[in-house]
A and B are shown apart, each in its own frame.
Chain A
Amino acid sequence: MANVPHTTAPRRRRAATAGFHLSATALAVLWLLPIALVLVTSVRSFDDIAAHGLGSRPRSFTLDAFRQAWVDGGQQRALINSLLVTVPCVLVTLALAAMAAFGLSRYELPLRRSLLLLMLGGNLLPPQILLIPVSKLSELMGAYDTLPALIGVQIGFGVGFYVFVLHGFMRAIPAEIQQAAVVDGAGPWQIFWRIVLPLTRPALAALSALSFTWIFNDLLWAITVLRSDTKMPITAALIGLQGQYVSMWNVIAAGSVVAAAPTVAVFLRFQRHFVAGLNLGAVK
């Protein structure tokens, strides 16, 4: 296209813009189509799907499937379980990670670089190597099949990564600020709480959004340390729903919508933090 003679620049630019929007729209439609499909399926009636097929044009509208998934399918309880796990996990993990990152980045601790990498390395391990010992460990502690076991392992496994990211962030805070605070008689706690943490807020916000979705979306740890259906978080409950309502696609679709809604809400509300979180902290 660029080599055609006699085309004037503005015309070419307009054609390029149209081409861009055409291809980008096609891409976006391709990406959003499965989402639209699940939304449509979730509001169809079972009879409609059974009579005309899952891929047919919808001929009904009902919210029954949501009620079935929410009440009979146990999604309400599962969502509560998920939040009971996710919220404390995010708070405790970030608190612990901020503490460790503060110590490692602002003080001359012996071996601090090795400690940092040890903690990061723990997070990079494939979880499979931990599954069996962790499930046995939680049995040993008497915590097997309880939410605290899931919270514990989520915190332990996640913390190393956040320490690493926050360390990179706190390291960039000028030493002069800390020295000035020391001169003014501030102890480590004041420096941490009044100076370093407020300056780390953007990173903490980004990591909160990110870790919320990671922990909320986890399946593997949940099915490793939990057994009872009543304790499962939403991801595992969704698999239960899949088994319980075989080929009742409207219920399964409704369940998927419920399971995805909280993270989508977090994403739409904190989109900027979210994308920043993915790009933060950097290993060059």
Chain B
Amino acid sequence: MAVVTASARKSPALAHGSRRARGPRRTPPLVLAFVLLPLLVESVWVFWPALQGFYLSLTRWDGVSAPAFVGLGNFREMAHDHVFLGAAGHTVLWLVLFGGLSAVLGLAAALLLQQERRGVGFYRAALFLPVVFSLVATALVWQAIYQPDGVLNHLLASVGLGDLRHAWLADQDTALYAVIVPALWRQIGYVMVLYLAGLKGIDPALYEAAKVDGTSRRQRFRHVTLPQLRSVNAVVLSVIVIDSLRSFDVVWSLTRGGPYHSSELLSTYMYSTAFQSLRLGYGSALAVVIFVLAFGVIASYLVRAFREAE
């Protein structure tokens, strides 16, 4: 999922011109078909299933017999479901750690690599390269690193920290964190690209003026750079929250949520509940919880898009 940053280059004159006259008033049938066909495809595969998903969350269903309506029973059950409560906690931790660190480190990388100078293209490409890997491939790369006889343990032993050697993915205390690292490794380059574009859009005159006023580097960062990055921050926040709640592949490939649900996220719990335990009603209810968590971000994103669209 990518949300996108400023098309700042769009000149106001053009935007205004296109608003004034947008072609004929009567819509030609072909144009109507142009809009309705994609809308139909999306309705079949997204809108209609989404409505069903909400309805199914109010039922008990094994996928074979007819779904039985149970009202809010599934949601009441969650209150006593320790796996659910654990997964919800992990999801929040994931949001904070994965989201927070990828934003901070992505911004740091962008600040380091923002200036056009010799070699910078290579460095940027290096950081960005993992973004094009699938999360599954990423996971397998790191799984090898984490093995008891893998590179990480070798490295620890060779710097005299042999006591820390570990079966990183098999230990309940470390599994979740061990899964976050590969996800971060892949996300930071993406966030960096968003911030690089944002930094590029800042008027250099602002820095010059601040310099003339005798500000320090840190002051310029706090009072010029950060405020100017506000719109990019909003985009990065949306990307991070939506991506965090969707995170599934990397956990599924590395631990399947184990050991003993210690790296379980809502997304993995939802999948295993639905497709392995075949509790489709309860699985739908879990999906609704994920939707509710994402709703604030989705809504604010749509509001911004709505303003942008006119």
Contact = CB atoms under 8 A, between A and B. Distances in A.
Nearest to A167: B309
Interface string A252-284: 110110011001101100010011011111111
Contacts of B193: 275, 278-279
20 contacts: A27-B112, A27-B127, A34-B142, A53-B154, A102-B31, A102-B34, A105-B22, A106-B22, A108-B24, A109-B31, A119-B39, A128-B267, A129-B287, A129-B288, A152-B45, A220-B248, A235-B249, A278-B4, A283-B235, A284-B304
Contact of A117 (B25, B235, B306): B306
Interface in A181-238: 182, 187-189, 192, 210, 213, 216-220, 223-224, 234-236, 238
Interface of B: 1-8, 10, 14-15, 17-18, 20-25, 27-28, 30-32, 34-35, 37-39, 41-42, 44-50, 52-54, 56, 63, 109, 112-113, 117, 119-120, 122-123, 125-130, 132-137, 140-145, 147, 149-155, 185, 189-190, 193-194, 197, 217, 231, 234-235, 238, 242, 245-246, 248-249, 252-253, 266-267, 270-271, 274-275, 280, 283-284, 286-288, 290-291, 294, 298, 301-302, 304-306, 308-310
Contacts of A224: 275
B136 A283 contact: no
A210 B132 CA distance: 9
A239 B249 CA distance: 10
**B contact patch SS:** helix
Contact of B53 (A120, A129, A255): A129
Contacts, number: 373
Contacts of A274: 132
Given A157-B46, A219-B248, A132 B56 contact: yes
B305 A164 contact: yes
A155 interface: yes
Given A34-B145, A99-B35, A121 B298 contact: yes
Contact of A54 (B117, B151, B288, B309): B151
Contact of B150 (A54, A113, A115, A128): A54
Interface in A94-130: 96-97, 99-100, 102-109, 112-113, 115-130
Contacts of B301: 124, 283
B154 A125 contact: no
Given A159-B41, A279-B194, A100 B34 contact: yes
Contacts of A266: 132
Given A113-B309, A152-B45, A167-B309, A264 B132 contact: yes
Contacts of B54: 129
A177 B42 CA distance: 31
Nearest to A17: B117
A175 B20 contact: yes
A260 B41 contact: no
Contacts of A96: 37-38, 41
A160 interface: yes
A107 B290 contact: no
A174 interface: yes
Nearest to A241: B140
Nearest to A56: B154
A249 interface: yes
B23 A106 contact: yes
B141 A38 contact: yes
Given A31-B129, A160-B42, A278-B190, 16 more contacts: A21-B119, A28-B127, A55-B149, A107-B27, A109-B32, A123-B46, A127-B246, A131-B271, A136-B52, A165-B4, A167-B309, A220-B248, A223-B275, A238-B137, A253-B141, A260-B134
A107 B23 contact: yes
A157 B56 CA distance: 20
Given A103-B35, A235-B249, A113 B308 contact: no
B82 to A, nearest CB: 20
Contacts of A179: 21, 23
A234 B249 CA distance: 13
Contacts of B194: 278-279
Interface centre among A27, A56, A277 (most CB of B within 10 A): A27
A42 B56 CA distance: 45
Interface of A: 2, 17, 20-21, 23-25, 27-28, 31-32, 34-35, 37-38, 41, 53-56, 96-97, 99-100, 102-109, 112-113, 115-137, 152-153, 155-157, 159-161, 163-165, 167-169, 171-176, 178-179, 182, 187-189, 192, 210, 213, 216-220, 223-224, 234-236, 238-239, 242, 247, 249, 252-253, 255-256, 259-260, 263-264, 266-267, 271, 274-275, 277-284
Given A27-B109, A126-B246, A175-B22, A279 B129 contact: no
Given A252-B144, A280-B4, A267 B129 contact: yes
A133 B52 contact: yes
A128 B270 contact: yes
Nearest to B3: A283
Contacts of B153: 55
Nearest to A250: B144
A31 B129 CA distance: 9
Contacts of B46: 122-123, 125, 130, 156-157, 160
Given A55-B150, A239-B253, A282-B8, A171 B18 contact: yes
Given A174-B18, A182-B23, A263 B132 contact: yes
A162 to B, nearest CB: 9
